[in-house]
Amino acid sequence: MHIGPYQLKNNLIVAPMAGVTDRPFRQLCKRFGAGHAVSEMITADQSLRAHKKSINRANFAGELAPISAQIAGSDPAQLAEAARYQVANGAQIIDINMGCPVKKVCNKLAGSALLQDETLVGQILDAVVAAVAPDNIPVTLKTRLGFANGAENILRVAERAQAAGIAALAIHGRTREDMYNGNARYALIREVKRSLNIPVIANGDIDSPRKAAQVLHDTGADAIMIGRAAQGRPWIFREIAHFLATGEELPPPEVIEIRDVLLQHLDDLYAFYGEYSGCRIARKHIAWYTKGLAGSNEFRQAMYAEESTAGQAQMTRQFFDQLLAYGERLQYQPATPADSAAAALLSAADARHPQ
């Protein structure tokens, strides 16, 4: 698959997720076989550019090419300027966010709220594409089926995107009204693919190799985009790539590999964010990696209270060493309701606090 002049090594893409797809996570997923990754959304508001969170989100140092920066906002001129700024910052692809469903983004008429105003959608697409055209930078769009159920307008938005010069279109199979509830719907993605000449990327509920193959078949999409299923499971890209190539499923990773991957991920997070933020941001990742492992709920409750990166890493290593001592080998065991609730609460708490 190509995005503009860039040929991706495969058709597996890491979805942009606020508070998750930072540089350490993108690099990790690429090491496990993702062909491409899109940054967290970076606000187009110039007044917030110097904030630590914005600086971290726009840190692409040492990242494997092509580098894709997602920008978010509602003002065409501001988004155009933000696109030029990120290109100067090292971005090789600009992605426009018209898919985020969260309230604080939609209340600013950004993200998926833009789908309510197709005229504004067109103005934004035209402005951003024109802004980076002199540098031959491709622009992609991430969006949803529409804003409200019964008012899905993705076919019109997709045709307008292609007319504006968008290089690839990623579609989450829900409306903004759906948030992340219910099941993703793929029929409209199939219709969009049939109506466009540009690459179409299917997104939503792709959580296994077999589901990946099914979605590619059912939609005819050129690629798939994986988000929540990669949280604490970056090897899902390895698993999907193997299944698509061979029709065979890989066995789940053993505990010793999970331990090694997680500890390296923690080291990368600590180095990237520093002591205070690194410790706190790492908590949700640890929760995701350990979900379903024997004794993980008790471990997490103790881990959440640890305030230092050294202590957090030591506790994590000790937890896995205990599993190995008892002969625990595979990751997948039945997750308890407490496991899922704890991870959800932790992720929500992290979103309320600046990084």
How far apart (Å, rounded) are the C-alpha atoms in residues 298 and 11? Answer: 38
Per the CB < 8 A criterion, the answer to whether 70 and 39 are in contact is: yes
The DSSP secondary structure of 68-122, one letter per residue, reads EEEEE-S-HHHHHHHHHHHHHTT-SEEEEEE----HHHHTTT-GGGGGG-HHHHH
Q: What six digits make up the tokens of 146?
A: 């529409």
Per the CB < 8 A criterion, the answer to whether 270 and 309 are in contact is: yes
Active-site positions read: 100
The angle subtended at Cα 216 by Cα 112 and Cα 124, nearest 5°, is: 25
The angle subtended at Cα 313 by Cα 308 and Cα 314, nearest 5°, is: 100
How far apart (Å, rounded) are the C-alpha atoms in residues 186 and 173? Answer: 6
Q: How many CA atoms lie within 13 A of 190 on its CB side?
A: 11
How far apart (Å, rounded) are the C-alpha atoms in residues 39 and 49? Answer: 15
How far apart (Å, rounded) are the C-alpha atoms in residues 297 and 78? Answer: 45
Per the CB < 8 A criterion, the answer to whether 336 and 299 are in contact is: no
> What are the two backbone dihedrals, phi and then psi, of residue 305, each rounded to the nearest 5 degrees?
-85, -10
**Strand, helix or coil at 292?**
coil
Q: What six digits make up the tokens of 215?
A: 């979605």
